[in-house]
Amino acid sequence: MGKAPVPEADPSSLITHLRSVLPKDGTREVLITSVIPTLLQSIAGVAEALRASCHVAAAGTANTFGDDQLNVDVTAENVIREAITHCPSIVTASSEEDPVERPVQHAHPSQAGQEQYTLAFDPLDGSSIISANWTVGTIMSLWDGPTALNQDPATKQVGAILGVLGPRTTAIVALRIHPSDQLPTCFEVALDPTNSNWHVTRPALTLAPRARIFAPANLRSAAEPGNAAYMKLIADHYIASRRLTLRYAGGLVPDIAHALIAGQGVYLNPVTANNPAKLRRLYELCPIALVIECAGGAALDPVSEERVLAREMRDCGEKGGLVCGSAEEVEEAVARLAGGEKATEGS
Query: What is the pTM for the complete model shown?
Result: 0.91
pLDDT confidence tier of residue 346, bands split at 50, 70 and 90: very low
Q: Is the dihedral of CA 224, 226, 230, 233 positive or negative?
A: positive
Q: What residues have CB less than 8 Å from 52, skipping those under 6 apart?
A: none
pLDDT at 225: 79
Q: Which among 280, 16, 317, 307 is positioned nearest to 155, based on CA atoms?
A: 307
Residue range 167-187: average pLDDT?
87
Look over the chain and give the mean of its residue pLDDT values, rounded to a whole number: 90
Residue range 161-171: average pLDDT?
97
Q: What residues have CB less than 8 Å from 259, skipping those under 6 apart?
A: 207, 211, 213, 215, 247, 265, 266, 267, 325, 326
Contact 245, 213 (CB under 8 A): yes
Indicate the fold that domain 213-338 takes in CATH: D-Maltodextrin-Binding Protein; domain 2 (3.40.190)
Please tell me which residue, 245 or 338, carries the higher pLDDT value.
245
* Ranges 39-48, 53-62, 82-91, 265-274: which has the least confidence: 53-62
d(CA 309, CA 286): 6
Q: What percentage of residues in the chain have a pLDDT greater than 70?
A: 88
Q: Is the dihedral of CA 112, 115, 116, 121 positive or negative?
A: negative
d(CA 98, CA 77): 9
d(CA 308, CA 320): 9
Domain ranges of the chain: 13-202, 213-338
Contact 319, 277 (CB under 8 A): yes
d(CA 110, CA 84): 15
Indicate the fold that domain 13-202 takes in CATH: Fructose-1,6-Bisphosphatase; Chain A, domain 1 (3.30.540)
d(CA 268, CA 244): 14
Residue range 131-147: average pLDDT?
96
61 SS3 class:
strand
Displacement of CA 16 from its chain's centroid (Å): 23
- pLDDT tens digits, one per residue of 70-84: 889 999 999 999 999
Q: Look at residue 301 and tell me whether its pLDDT is greater than 60.
A: yes
47 SS3 class:
helix
191 SS3 class:
strand
Q: Which among 75, 96, 101, 83 is positioned nearest to 34, based on CA atoms?
A: 83
